[in-house]
Amino acid sequence: MRLRRTLAVAALPLLLATVACAPEEDASTGSVAPSASAGQCETDNLPLKTSGQLTVGTDSPAYEPWFVDNDPTNGKGYESAVAYAVAEQLGFSKDQVTWVKVPFNSSYAPGDKKFDFDINQISISAKRAQAVDFSDGYYSAAQAVIALKGTAGAEATSLADLQGLRLGAQTGTTSLTAVRDVIQPDTEAIPFEDTNAAKQALQNDQVDAILADLPTAFYISAVEIPQSTLIGQFQPETGQQEEFGMLFQKGSELVPCVNEALAALKDDGTLADIEQQWLSDVVDVPTLQ
């Protein structure tokens, strides 16, 4: 599953849409991060878990196209590349970045964190922001629906067509919430521990279709389950973008410095270059209404 397929990854979509991995209804934190004070973001002054070292969290397995070969340290994949670009902007070399495993569902739980920030397709939301802090958004994505070719799921052309199907998604994600709140299927949505379990259930005919954020769904269909088809994408809340943000321990003084780094990467085109490399914007995916 972790074989690198560069050409397939390069064909992944970067479409202007909205939802990723948060189950809350409100994608806004409801507050504005404070600006950095003079000298606060100098490398030696950064408030870090370990002096001279930037500690970054993500889940394991770390999925394509966000990471490559389940190895966050290689700098390959969209989120790995973004993390290292932010680190460099903050003044850290690659060997000064340390990765730690953080299960997705525990990342946004209250309490002390063992990382400086976590990057793992975690959507910014007001509910989560009660317990943790977020950076500005670094990516936004639509939801997408995957079904096996030649099945009832593959015949769906609208959200209404999905209501009579068995649908599932990873627990704790916006994908699962989109099933329950937007599609509202006739039978209860099936939660899975992770994306691997959801993919296996689809192949075992335990569900008719699964949901994931669009780049992940495209990779699943194009590379991991070639007998599947990406039947469409949709925006759960029209006009409201829901974005991935880096996650911090509540009250972290590192947030404004990471926001400055992200702003610089956007301004100089680095973030756009990373998106183009790992999440191409050339694929045409139907919109489900």
The neighbour count for residue 277, using CB atoms within 10 Å, is 16
Residue 273, phi-psi category: left (phi > 0), alpha (psi -120 to 50), beta (remainder)? alpha
Q: What is the pLDDT of residue 243?
A: 86
Look at residue 78 in the predicted model and tell me its pLDDT. 97
Residues 32 and 114 in one domain: yes
Residue 22 counted as domain residue: no
Q: Is residue 23 part of a domain?
A: no
Same-domain pairing of 157 and 169: yes
Side by side, the strands of the sheet bearing 209-213 are: 190-192, 167-170, 209-213, 143-148, 228-234
In a domain, 287, yes or no: no
- Is 254 found in the same domain as 132? yes
pTM of the model: 0.76
CA Rg, the chain, in Å?
19
| 195 and 214 part of one domain | yes
- Look at the chain and count its residues: 289
Residue 17 lies in a domain: no
Whether 181 is in a domain gets the answer: yes
pLDDT at 28: 44
- Examine the domain organization and report whether 182 and 53 are in the same domain: no
For residues 117 and 177, state if they share a domain: no
Domain count, the chain: 2
Return d(Cα 180, Cα 87) in angstroms, integer: 37
Q: What is the mean pLDDT of each run of 10 residues along the chain (289 residues)?
A: 35 37 41 67 96 96 94 98 98 98 93 97 91 95 93 95 97 90 95 95 97 92 94 73 89 97 98 91 76
* CATH number for the domain harbouring residue 160: 3.40.190.10
- Structural domain of 49: 6-12+28-140+244-278
* Residue 186 belongs to a domain: yes
Half-sphere exposure of 225 (CA within 13 A, CB side): 23
pLDDT confidence of residue 166: 98
Which residues are 247's β-sheet partners?
A: 118, 134
116 and 190 inside one domain: no
Query: In this structure, how many other beta carbons lie within 10 angstroms of the beta carbon of residue 249?
Result: 20
pLDDT of residue 18: 32
- The Cα–Cα gap between 119 and 57 comes to 6
